[in-house]
């Protein structure tokens, strides 16, 4: 059982190009590999990706992960 601590940070990113569940999975998979990330929830219908991490993430690292998945961080 994992519990979020008070030090966890939630950040919402806007991603362009996601249209389906496969898209959500691809983006989630790439971002979840970044150090410190504990959870990722992508929603294709809104383009929003919610990331919970132990510390603030480097936006360029998130952008690179999204690019690797084949999508664009807005």
pLDDT in tens, 11-59: 999 999 999 999 999 999 999 999 999 999 999 999 999 999 999 999 9
Q: Is residue 46 part of a domain?
A: yes
Question: Could you tell me if residue 7 is inside a domain?
Answer: no
Asked if residue 6 lies in contact with residue 23, where contact means CB atoms within 8 angstroms, the answer is no
Q: What is the CATH number of the domain that holds 37?
A: 3.30.70.100
With respect to residue 28, please indicate whether it lies within any of the assigned structural domains. Answer: yes
How many domains is the chain built from? 1
More confident residue, 67 or 5: 67
pLDDT of residue 6: 63
**What residues make up the domain containing 45?**
17-73
Residue 30 falls inside a structural domain: yes
Asked, for residue 9, whether it belongs to a domain, the answer is no
Whether residue 69 is contained in a domain is answered as: yes
Please state the pTM of the whole predicted model.
Answer: 0.89
């Amino acid at each position: 059982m994992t519990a979020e601590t008070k030090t966890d940070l939630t950040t919402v990113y806007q991603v362009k190009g996601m249209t389906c569940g496969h898209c959500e999975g691809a983006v989630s998979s790439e971002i979840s590999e970044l150090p410190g990330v504990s959870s990722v929830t992508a929603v294709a219908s809104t383009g929003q990706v919610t990331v919970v991490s132990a510390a603030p993430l480097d936006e360029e690292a998130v952008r690179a992960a999204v690019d690797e998945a084949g999508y664009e961080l807005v």
